[in-house]
Structure 1
Amino acid sequence: MNAGFLPVRQLVLVDLLSMMLATRVGERAIIAVDGPDGVGKTRLVGELVALAPHVAGRQVHAVSVDGFHRPREQRYARGRTGETYYEDAFDYDALREHVLRPFRAGGAVVPEVWDLEADRPAPAQPVTLADDALLLVEGVFLRRPELRGEWDATCVLMAPAEVTVPRGNARFPGRRVEGDDDPASPANARYVEAHRLYRLQARTWQPTWIVDNTDLQRPELIVPDPDEPQWFER
C-alpha cells in the first residue's frame, strides 16, 4: 500500500476494514455486506480482501450470495415480479449448509453451489480458512428476517436508484433495452419492486456500518448511533 497520498476511497476502505477486523477478534466472524443491485458490493468487497494483508494479520475471505441462486426454473416458476425475485431467487438453506454452518464449526466452506449463467450445479471447491478468519458475505437482501442471527455485523452500501439502476445494467451490455437507465422503466420493475419490499422488511434492523457509495471515488462511511431509531436510507 502506497505510504504517500491515498485517494479518498482507499482511506474510507481502510477505515471500514479496520472496524470489520475488530469483530470477534481471535475467532471466526461473519459480516454481511448488503445493498441493492448495482450499488458496488462486489467491487468494494474485492478491494477489502485485497487490502487485508496490508492492514492486519487476519485472513479475510469473501463469498457471494450469487453462487447460491436457485435454478432458473424455480426462480421464475411463479412469474418475474418483484415479489418472486425477493422470495424465490436465492437458496438460503444451501448457503447455511455449505458456508455459514461449516464456517462456524471451524470447517472449510464451499463458496458456490450453482452456476448462474450456465444454470447448472457448480463444481464443489472447498476453501479452508484460518481459525480466526473474517468472512465477508456479499449480496442483496441479507438483512431479511430469516437471516437474523447469522451475521456478527452488517454493512449496507447505499446509493439512489438513479445511480444503482444504470450502474447495474451497465454490467450486461448485451441485455440493454431502450430507456432501461430509468428506475421507472418496466425493464427494471422486477428489481426495483423487490428492493422496495425488502426495505420494508429490513427497516428495523439497523446495520453496523453504512457506506454511501453514490460517488465511487468519494464514498462516505457512516456509523449509525445505536440509540437513534432512524438511520440513513435513500
Structure 2
Amino acid sequence: MQLVTTPRVTFLRELADAILRQYGRGRMIVAIDGPLRSGKTAFGDDLAAVLRERGHRVFRASMEDFHRSREAQDAFGDDTPERYFRYGFDESALRRVLVEPFRMGGSTAFVTAVFDPARDAWVQPKWLTGPADAILVLDGRFVLRPRLAELWDVPIVLDGDPVDPADVLAYAEADPRHGDAVVVDDRDPEHPRLAADRGR
C-alpha cells in the first residue's frame, strides 16, 4: 500500500532504502532503542509500514511483551531501577522463541510476544512463520545493551537524554548513541532527522 507522503514518511523511506541497500535479502532484525517515552514503538510501527511499502514481509515485536513476571523479578531483590534495568526483561525467552527461530528462516516458527505486563500474565503464544526474506522490527528499552548487541543487524537509537532512573543507569553503563547505531532525532515526530555526530 502506498503511504501518504509527509516529511516523516520521506525520512523513513530514505532510512529504509539505506537499510535495504546494506541488508537486502535473508532474515534481518532492526532494533530500536531510546529513553522512556521517546516514541520507539511509533517509530518502529512507521518504519515497518515503509518497509512493507517497499515490498518486504515485516514482523513487529516489542520488548514490552518480553517482561519477566513480578514474581520472577522479585527473585533478584527489591524493586529498584537497577533491578528493572538488569532483570526486568526475559532475554532468554527473547532469544529462544523469537530471535533464534527467526534467524533460522524457512518454515521455522517464532513468537513475537510471551507476556502481558499490564496483567502480569503469560499470553497464549502465537507461532508465526514467514518467507526466507523477512524483516523483524523490534523496539524496546535496553535492546542495544552490550549483551544483546550481536543479535541485531541494524541498531537504531532515538536521541534524547535519559531521565527515568533505569534509563540513567543504562546510559551510564553504555550510551547507545555512542556505538554503531543510527541515531535519529525524533523529538519532533513530524520531522525526524539524523542526529548530529556524538563522537562515535
TM-score surpassing 0.5?
yes
Please tell me whether the aligned partners of residues 108 and 126 of structure 1 are also in contact (alpha carbons under 8 angstroms): yes
Partners of 2:180 and 2:124 in 1: CA distance:
33
Q: Which residue of 2 aligns with 1:151?
A: 152
Please point out which of 189, 192, 196 is paired with 1:219.
192
> CA RMSD for the aligned pairs?
2.1
1:50-94 CA-partner distances (Å, limit 9, x unpaired): 22232x222122111111100012234522322011012100000
Query: Residue 148 of structure 1: SS of its match in structure 2?
Result: helix
For normalisation by structure 2, the TM-score amounts to 0.88
Does 2:176 align with 1:207? no
Task: Give the 3 Å change call, closer, same or farther, for CA 79–222 of structure 1 in structure 2.
Answer: same
C-alpha displacement at 1:19, in angstroms? Answer: 1.9
Q: Which residue of 1 aligns with 2:92?
A: 93
Task: Give the 3 Å change call, closer, same or farther, for CA 223–31 of structure 1 in structure 2.
Answer: farther
Partners of 1:2 and 1:72 in 2: CA distance:
40
Partners of 1:201 and 1:18 in 2: CA distance:
32
1:182-212 CA-partner distances (Å, limit 9, x unpaired): x5xxxxxxxx221111112223761331111
Q: Which residue of 2 aligns with 1:120?
A: 121
Task: Give the 3 Å change call, closer, same or farther, for CA 50–158 of structure 1 in structure 2.
Answer: same
Task: Give the 3 Å change call, closer, same or farther, for CA 130–2 of structure 1 in structure 2.
Answer: closer
Identify the structure with bigger relative contact order (alpha carbons < 8 Å, sequence gap 6+).
Answer: 2
For normalisation by structure 1, the TM-score amounts to 0.76
Partners of 2:140 and 2:149 in 1: CA distance:
15
Partners of 1:73 and 1:84 in 2: CA distance:
13
Matches within 5 A, 1:25-40: 25-40=24-39
C-alpha displacement at 1:125, in angstroms? Answer: 0.2
Matches within 5 A, 1:7-156: 7-54=6-53, 56-77=54-75, 78-106=77-105, 107-156=108-157
Task: Give the 3 Å change call, closer, same or farther, for CA 95–212 of structure 1 in structure 2.
Answer: same
Please point out which of 198, 202, 210 is paired with 2:170.
198
Unaligned stretches of 5+ residues in structure 2? none
Task: Give the 3 Å change call, closer, same or farther, for CA 23–108 of structure 1 in structure 2.
Answer: farther
Q: Which has the larger radius of gyration?
A: 1
Partners of 1:70 and 1:25 in 2: CA distance:
34
Amino acid aligned to 2:188: D
Query: Residue 33 of structure 1: SS of its match in structure 2?
Result: strand
Amino acid aligned to 2:92: D
Partners of 2:22 and 2:28 in 1: CA distance:
7
Partners of 1:152 and 1:223 in 2: CA distance:
22
Please tell me whether the aligned partners of residues 21 and 58 of structure 1 are also in contact (alpha carbons under 8 angstroms): no
Unaligned stretches of 5+ residues in structure 1? 162-182, 184-191
